[in-house]
C-alpha cells in the first residue's frame, strides 16, 4: 500500500509525497519547493528515492536541485524535457514504467499544457498524478500545445477506471466549478459538487483528489458530448475537438 502526503505550497500548488512502507522507497511529485518536502521526510524518517516531474514549469521543478543535492535522489521526467528540467537522471517516454518498490506507474504522454507534459498512472492502486493536464473540473491552459493535442491527451485519461483518484497539482476547483456552471447550468451533479466544494474551501480544506467518475460527471473538458453544454456555448453538433476548443477559449476569458 502506498501512503500519500499532500503538501500545499505557494498560492495554490500541491506537492505529493508517495511512500511505499515495504520497500521504504519514497517519491515526490512536482516539488515546487524543497524545504516543505525535507520537513516531511525528516518527521517521517523517510529517505527520498525519486523526484517525478510532470513538466518543466518552475512551480513544479523549483525544488529539484536542492532535493537532489541533500538527499541523493534520482530525478525522473519526460525525455523531451531533458533540456528544460533541472537535474534529470532518467528521461521517460509514453508507456514507460516507473517503479516504486513493487508498485508500478505507467507514464502517459499528455501534451497540451506544455509540449512535453507527462502524467504518472498507478493502475493497481487507481492513482493518477496528472500535473497540470487535468484538474478537478478543469484542465491546463494551452501554453505550448494546441486544443487538438490537449483534447487527445484528455481522451487518454477519460477512459481510466472510474475509481481512479485524480491528484492534480493546483487548488483551482472552486473557480473551475464556477466556470463549469456557466456552460452547463442545469447539471445537477455539478450543482451538488459545488455545494461540497464551497463548504470545503470555506473551511480551508483541500478539494483534491477527485475521481475520474466525478470528472466525467462535472468537468466540462470531459463533457464535450453534453447536448446542454453544446447548446449553451453555441456549438451544437460540432466535432468534439471543436467543442473542446471553444470551452477552453471561454475558460481563458472567464
Q: Which residues are designated catalytic?
A: 55, 57, 59-60, 113, 132, 170
User: Whole-angstrom Cα distance, residue 52 to residue 119?
Assistant: 9
3-state secondary structure of 235: coil
Residue 13, strand partner residues: 9, 170
Contacts of 27 (CB under 8 A, 6+ apart): 17, 18, 48, 49, 50, 51, 52, 100
Q: State how far Cα 49 lies from the chain centre.
A: 21
Residue 100, strand partner residues: 103
Pull the grid cell for residue 119: 502524467
CA distances, 168 to each of 66, 165, 225 (Å): 23, 9, 23
3-state secondary structure of 218: helix
Pull the grid cell for residue 141: 491552459
Q: What is the dihedral of CA 38, 62, 113, 181, to 10 degrees?
A: 60
Pull the grid cell for residue 49: 528515492
User: Whole-angstrom Cα distance, residue 164 to residue 134?
Assistant: 13
Contacts of 74 (CB under 8 A, 6+ apart): 49, 50, 51, 68, 89, 90
Amino acid at each position: 500500500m502506498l501512503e500519500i502526503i499532500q503538501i500545499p505550497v505557494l498560492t495554490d500548488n500541491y506537492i505529493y509525497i508517495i511512500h511505499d512502507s515495504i520497500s521504504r522507497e519514497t517519491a515526490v511529485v512536482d516539488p515546487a519547493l524543497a524545504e516543505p518536502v525535507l520537513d516531511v521526510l525528516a518527521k517521517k524518517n523517510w529517505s527520498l528515492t525519486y523526484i517525478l516531474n510532470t513538466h518543466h514549469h518552475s512551480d513544479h521543478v523549483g525544488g529539484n536541485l536542492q532535493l537532489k543535492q541533500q538527499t541523493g535522489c534520482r530525478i525522473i521526467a519526460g525525455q523531451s524535457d531533458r533540456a528544460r528540467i533541472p537535474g534529470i537522471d532518467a528521461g521517460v517516454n509514453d508507456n514507460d514504467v516507473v517503479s516504486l518498490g513493487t508498485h508500478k506507474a505507467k507514464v502517459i504522454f499528455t501534451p497540451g499544457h506544455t509540449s512535453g507534459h507527462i502524467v504518472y498512472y498507478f493502475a493497481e492502486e487507481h492513482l493518477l498524478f496528472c500535473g497540470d493536464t487535468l484538474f478537478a473540473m478543469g484542465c491546463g491552459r494551452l501554453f505550448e500545445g494546441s486544443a487538438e493535442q490537449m483534447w487527445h491527451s484528455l481522451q487518454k485519461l477519460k477512459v481510466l477506471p472510474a475509481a481512479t483518484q485524480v491528484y492534480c497539482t493546483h487548488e483551482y476547483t472552486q473557480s473551475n466549478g464556477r466556470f463549469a456552471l456557466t456552460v452547463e447550468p442545469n447539471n445537477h451533479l455539478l450543482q451538488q459538487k459545488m455545494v461540497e466544494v464551497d463548504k470545503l474551501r470555506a473551511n480551508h480544506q483541500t478539494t483534491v483528489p477527485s475521481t475520474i467518475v466525478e470528472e466525467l460527471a462535472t468537468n466540462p473538458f470531459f463533457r464535450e458530448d453534453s447536448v446542454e453544454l453544446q447548446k449553451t456555448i453555441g456549438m451544437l453538433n460540432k466535432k468534439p475537438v471543436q467543442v473542446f476548443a471553444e470551452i477552453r477559449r471561454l475558460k481563458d476569458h472567464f
